[in-house]
A = this chain, B = another copy of it.
Amino acid sequence: MPRSVRSRPAGRLLYAQSGGVTAVINATAAGVIETARAAGVPVYAARNGILGVLREELIDTGKEAKSAIAALRHTPGGAFGSCRYKLKSLEENRAEYERLIEVLRAHDIRWFLYNGGNDSADTALKISQLSKAMGYDVRCIGVPKTVDNDLAVTDCCPGFGSVAKYTAVAVREASLDVASMADTSTKVFILEVMGRHAGWIAAAAGLAGEGADAPPHVILFPERVFDEDAFLARVQATVDRVGWCTVVASEGIRDAEGRFLAEGGTRDAFGHSQLGGVAAVLAAKVKDRLKLKVHWALPDYLQRSARHLASKTDVAHAYAVGRAAVDYALAGMHAVMPVIVRTSDSPYRWKIEPAPLAKIANREKKMPNAFIGRDGFSITAAARRYLAPLIRGEDAPPYGKDGLPAYVTLKNVAVKPKLPPFGR
């Protein structure tokens, strides 16, 4: 039942957000809803990602004003709710997949757009396959999103450019602070960044400065085994030469035995578990072994929700993949994801193309070895060429008279359920 974009096809489109949210995932939602509306296709959203489909908790985005949908473009977080929920395999839990198809069928959902990482790509692929087998044809399109930048095929992932920009700005600003005070106060500053098993965000910190004396002076990548002696020697040498030292540590760094530094098993004085991160562990080493005054920062969710500092390039990518996903769906494409293809580094040029979900599902893109300097603590010129365009341009949200960004909260009007509750 192929459909053309222009024919105002029957049926509805369902959009769902999955996994950790970003500063720009709602820009993708804006791209999806605005494009579908222009084509005359009604859009439902799932509350809290795939769980909203399982629970038949759907939202009618048709109840939202045009201005509210437009405001999604500059609002961080996930406007319809997201989830951390991985469906089991088809063999293990066929009932769950069948329920998904039943809910889609009950609401005449003809296109399903799942906005997430490689897990979500896998889910979209499976629903696509099963829907055919169950005789209810739903076009499943994956839509890329992740701050970790670890999706296969696509040149980069919407969400990454903004956290990359946040991180580079944070290093530049905090380093000016540390440099001012180093004579009598803090000499070592450690910034812990996200990224799981991939050092993309840590690498982006390297854009803050260039040359051995410019911050960050030390980057700790999860792609390199953490060597305590080499790390401390590099910190000490930097302090001796520059007067102070800025370190950026990826949350996922591990020692030679493969243990995460962040899982140091720390406990407070009462024996309670201490929730800390890599930065605290590194700071203790600097203090204990080098006897240098140290400070550390853990921006945590601040880094991935900082829409006020979004990259204009990233926002454009995020919107474009949303728009393309609808175009692909309405053109009758199946089990694909719109990916970002880079056609030129300088000037930076890109386009969106469809890629098969099968090539993206459950895969992880590692950072190329050639992006990490020989010293193991810096980025290369090749890394700069790749990263630099992704943080370019500013796209500040509108601010209210109160001095705060004017973010939108949707009404999220529920669609009346048509099925009995899912008995799990």
Give the 9 A-B CB pairs with smallest separation, nearest first.
A77-B176, A78-B180, A297-B300, A173-B305, A391-B403, A177-B305, A392-B403, A265-B269, A174-B301
Q: Are B177 and A304 in contact (CB under 8 A)?
A: yes
Query: Taking beta carbons and an 8 Å cutoff, which residues of A are in contact with B?
Result: 17, 20-21, 23, 48, 51, 75-79, 81-85, 165, 168-170, 172-174, 176-181, 183-186, 189, 191, 207-208, 264-270, 272-276, 280-281, 283-285, 287-288, 294-302, 304-309, 311-313, 388, 391-394, 396, 399, 401-405, 407
Distance (whole angstroms) from the CB of A40 to the closest CB of chain B: 29
Q: Which of A168, A172, A396: most chain B Cβ within 10 A?
A: A172
Q: Does A77 lie within 8 Å of B284, measured CB to CB? A: no
Task: Please give, as numbers and ranges, the residues of chain B lying within 8 Å of A394 by CB-CB distance.
Answer: 396, 399, 403
23 contacts across the A-B interface (CB closer than 8 A): A21-B177, A23-B173, A75-B176, A77-B177, A77-B180, A81-B181, A165-B403, A168-B403, A168-B404, A169-B405, A172-B404, A172-B407, A176-B305, A177-B301, A186-B301, A207-B404, A266-B266, A272-B285, A275-B283, A275-B284, A296-B298, A296-B300, A309-B309
Q: Give the complex CA separation of A172 and B408 in angstroms.
A: 11
Which of A173, A267, A308 has the largest count of B CB atoms less than 10 A from its CB?
A173
Are A297 and B294 interface neighbours, CB within 8 A?
A: no
Whole-angstrom distance between the Cβ of A173 and the nearest chain B Cβ: 4
Q: How far is the CA of A185 from the CA of B86 in the complex (A)?
A: 13
Q: Which residue of B lies closest to A273 (CB)?
A: B284
B residues in contact with A169, CB < 8 Å: 308, 404-405
Closest-by-CB residue of B relative to A309 is B308
Residues of B within 8 A of A276 (CB): 274, 276, 280
Whether A402 pairs with B407 at a CB distance below 8 angstroms is no
**For residue A313, which residues in chain B have a CB less than 8 angstroms away from its CB?**
403
- Complex Cα distance A217/B401, Å? 23
A180 touches which of B21, B185, B186, B295 (Cβ 8 Å): B21
Find out whether the CB atom of A300 lies under 8 angstroms from the CB atom of B308.
Answer: no
Q: Is the beta-carbon distance between B280 and A274 smaller than 8 angstroms? A: yes
Task: Determine if B264 and A269 form an interchain contact, defined as CB atoms under 8 angstroms apart.
Answer: yes
Q: State in angstroms the CA–CA spacing of A291 and B164 once bound together.
A: 33
Task: Note all chain B residues with C-beta closer than 8 A to A298.
Answer: 296-298
Cα-based distance from A299 to B302 in the complex (angstroms): 8
Distance of A363 Cα from B23 Cα, bound (Å): 42
